[in-house]
A and B are shown apart, each in its own frame.
Chain A
Amino acid sequence: MAEMLKAMTALGANEPVSVTVGPVTVTERFDVALASVAARRGRMAELGAAAKVAGLPLPGPARFLAGTPYSTYWVAPEMWFVEADLASHEMIATTLKDALGDAASVTEQTDAWVCLDLAAPDLAPLLERLCNVDFSGVPDGHATRTMLEHLGCYLIKHGPGAARLYGPRSSAKSLLHALEVAAMSAF
């Protein structure tokens, strides 16, 4: 019998990678399902009502809202990225599509991104070297697209020392390398 097939993580390993440089710890998350939800033209009210029933938070511009089972962050006018636990929501796009009907366009995003959790007593010295987000100035729950190491990424601030970064999966190793180099120079 063939052995059971097992997917590799974005960084190409069997198990998620965790790297510590000085006070900074970067942890790859392989347990997050991701999908995008966008309102179809002129049907925002319909989507809002369906999202309320489905328990899907729809935060305002540049914001993240945590919830169970769905946490959501704003990416564009009338468009959001939805996070959920991969073990229970591996089919997140199908589940959302069923819940939201045709008022929304839903796209599977899980395999397009590498998800990295950043942790340190203070992440500002690291992130100010990498991108132009004013990390210490923005409030917790701030979510924005920004450029790190020439890569378009989503950065979500959970606290002064906690952030989640979504980068293009095909450049996962480059992104991790950039974080390591910046952490070495910052601390």
Chain B
Amino acid sequence: MIIHHPILGPRDAQEFVYLGDASLIDRPDGMTAGVEAFHEYLYQRTNPAGEHQELWYHEQGDRSWLVITRNTVTHEITKVELARDVARSRGRSQ
């Protein structure tokens, strides 16, 4: 499987480590959001047969975190973005 890294171009998937659902980016504020919201964030995952956004780490490359949009049925990768850019576009600054 080839992942088209937004900076480095096509790289072999064996250079990457998979973390999981990209919703991990949207961590609620543990002090104000309440137990329910944090429980939701920590334990609940959708398991779609189809398009899925995932976090991948380019460990044997430039060590960037990526958000990869992958079809879990066909394994087709339709979009690769830097997680940093995705987080900032969702209003995160830290």
Contact = CB atoms under 8 A, between A and B. Distances in A.
Given A132-B12, A132-B14, A144 B7 contact: no
Contacts of A76: 62-64
Main secondary structure of the interface of A (DSSP, over half): strand
A146 B60 CA distance: 5
Contact of A145 (B12, B62, B84): B62
5 contacts: A62-B7, A74-B62, A132-B15, A145-B60, A145-B61
B8 A61 contact: yes
A152 interface: yes
Contacts of B84: 77
A147 interface: yes
Contacts of A145: 60-63
Given A132-B14, A147-B15, A77 B8 contact: no
B89 to A, nearest CB: 16
A75 interface: yes
A74 B14 CA distance: 21
Interface in A141-175: 144-147, 152
Interface of A: 61-62, 74-77, 132, 144-147, 152
Contacts of A152: 59-60
Q: 10 nearest interchain CB pairs?
A: A76-B62, A147-B60, A61-B7, A132-B12, A76-B63, A145-B61, A62-B8, A152-B60, A145-B60, A61-B8
Given A144-B61, A145-B62, A146-B61, 7 more contacts: A62-B8, A76-B63, A76-B64, A132-B12, A132-B14, A132-B15, A152-B60
A32 to B, nearest CB: 22
A144 B82 CA distance: 18
A175 B38 CA distance: 45
A183 B64 CA distance: 32
A77 B60 contact: no
Nearest to B9: A62
A144 to B, nearest CB: 7
A61 B5 CA distance: 11
B23 to A, nearest CB: 23
B15 A77 contact: no
Nearest to B11: A132
A38 to B, nearest CB: 11
A132 B84 CA distance: 26
Contacts of B61: 144-146
